[in-house]
Amino acid sequence: MVPPMVYLPCQAPETTAPDVIAEYYLLEDGRVALLAYTALDRLVSCCGSNQPWVLTPTAKLDELDRIRPYDVILLDTEIPAAHRRRPNGGQS
């Protein structure tokens, strides 16, 4: 069951909707994934405390797919520590 709102990792903390750019991830099999989190504490636990995010209505995910297509949505997926954002905004 998917909640009415999800937290999406995004590229910049100072960006506001509708200018937010959700981060997409390339999977090992070549598919493009949109990561979504059902609670803020799950996003922080899975992506780290330096990850910018945006709260988005689940109903808007189809619109995101039309603007910038993705193949799959992964819920509450952990990002390996080596790929998480560092305090200065860059990735490890």
What is the pLDDT, as a whole number, of residue 27?
Answer: 93
Cα gap 52→15, rounded to integer Å? 9
- DSSP readout, 16-56? -TTS--B-EEE-TTS-EEEEEBSSHHHHHHHH-TT--EEEE
Per-residue pLDDT reduced to its tens digit, 36-87: 999 999 999 999 999 999 999 999 999 999 989 999 999 999 998 888 888 7
SS3 (DSSP) at 80: coil
Residue 18 has pLDDT above 60, yes or no: no
**pTM attached to this predicted model:** 0.84
